[in-house]
Amino acid sequence: MFSQCRTTALPMRMTNKWAAKIMVFLKDGRRRFSELQAPLQGVTPKVLAESLRAMERDGIITRTSYPGVPPRVEYELTDLGRSLLEPLNTWCDWAEEHLGELLGAREVYEQRSA
């Protein structure tokens, strides 16, 4: 299946564990940086900023800056980003369906590796 894929460029940076979570929080509309940071417990401001920058570079989100003191910045999914929500939902459904198998496989691996 993967041998038929003509490109090595992935639509999302799959190594970025925050990208999918960011997309979920942006699916209902624009959010400020702080509105993203609060529900994403465990993400540092630096990592969140890097993740948002990478997603902006890939055309998944837009960043809009408003003048003022302090300046206000909002992030929003693009049409391209919205088109990833359905595959993301499919991925999540698969993970929920197979969670027991995944956890069992990890446990077997850990026991074998111990």
State residue 91's pLDDT score: 86
Domain extents in the chain: 2-83
Report the alpha-carbon distance of residue 35 to residue 76 in Å, rounded: 12
Report the alpha-carbon distance of residue 70 to residue 84 in Å, rounded: 32
**More reliable by pLDDT, 9 or 109:** 109
Give the type of residue at 85: L
Largest CA distance in the chain: 58
**Look-up: residue for tokens 């698969």?**
94
Peptide bond into 39 cis (omega under 30): no
Q: Single out the residue of 73, 52, 54 nearest to residue 64, CA to CA.
A: 73
State how beta strands 31-32 and 72-77 pair.
antiparallel
Whole-prediction pTM value?
Answer: 0.78
Q: pLDDT tens across 38-97, in order?
A: 988 889 999 999 999 999 999 999 999 999 988 899 999 999 999 999 998 898 898 889
Give the type of residue at 60: I
State residue 2's pLDDT score: 43
Given 1.10.10.10, 3.40.50.1820, 3.40.50.300, 1.10.3720.10, which CATH number is that of 2-83?
1.10.10.10
Which band of pLDDT confidence, cut at 50, 70 and 90, is reported for residue 3? very low
